[in-house]
Amino acid sequence: MTSTKRRVRQKQYHHGDLRRSLLDGALSLIELEGVAALSLREVARRIGVSHAAPHHHFENKTLLLCAVAEEGFRALNAEMVAAVGLVSSEPAERLHAIGVAYVRFAAAHPAHFRVMFSAEVSGRQSTHSLREASAATFAQLTSGLLAAGLTEEAARDAALMAWSAVHGLAMLWIEGQLALPGVASNVEALARKVVAGLSRRAP
């Protein structure tokens, strides 16, 4: 790299591009080798900065993963909100739209999705902003059910059942476990078929 290019890159990173590059580098590495392969040093190597550079934004690997997961939850939440905006206020339609959006997001962003639900960002390792983003996503499932007149407990239970179903489908899809006879090869068609069963049970 020439000295001119190096100065340009350093200037870009100084203005915030380094954080974005670290997130993109982490996602690329996870997509190729899995969450376990991630390290700050390897991400730094892949994006062409010193091994110390990531510490300007992330003190350790866990905080980088939390940032990836938070970004994923916020993007998923936005996609679910957009999907709900295209249907009526009927609980069954809302549940259907949210469920399909959930699976569609997982299929389109498998690296994000794996990190969002990995042990590395759960429990005490999770950051406050990540917990907020995760809670907002689950709230999308419960809001329509509450509006339909369910009690808070009943809405939470129904949302948990729906979440478990679509999450299981999403994980099976991104892990390549659904190449079975008679199973739809199009993820959206498959999601619609599976979520339809849940929608029929919605209040």
Per-residue pLDDT of 40-80, as tens digits, reads 999 999 999 999 999 989 999 999 999 999 999 999 999 99
Whether 34 and 76 map to the same domain: the answer is no
What is the number of domains present in the chain?
A: 2
Q: DSSP of the chain, one letter per residue?
A: --HHHHHHHHHHIIIIIHHHHHHHHHHHHHHHH-GGG--HHHHHHHHT--TTGGGGT-SSHHHHHHHHHHHHHHHHHHHHHHHHTTS-S-HHHHHHHHHHHHHHHHHH-HHHHHHHTSGGGSGGGS-HHHHHHHHHHHHHHHHHHHHTT--HHHHHHHHHHHHHHHHHHHHHHHTT----TTS-SSHHHHHHHHHHHHHHH--
Cβ pair 9, 88 in contact under 8 A: no
Q: Please tell me whether residues 122 and 35 are part of one structural domain.
A: no
Question: Do 64 and 39 lie in a common domain?
Answer: no
pLDDT at 15: 41
| pLDDT tens track for 91-113 | 778 888 888 999 999 999 999 99
Residues 128 and 108 occupy one common structural domain: yes
Distances, alpha carbon 162 to alpha carbons 87, 104, 125, 184, in Å: 18, 15, 26, 20
Mean pLDDT of all residues in 151-156: 82
User: Please, how many CA atoms are within 13 Å of residue 175, restricted to the half-sphere of its CB?
Assistant: 8
Identify the CA nearest to 13 among candidates 61, 69, 52: 52
Q: Average pLDDT for residues 168-190, to the nearest whole number? A: 81
**Is pLDDT of 12 > 70?**
no
Last residue of a domain, one of 41, 59, 77: 59
| Bigger pLDDT: 158 vs 15 | 158
Q: Are residues 178 and 100 in the same domain?
A: yes
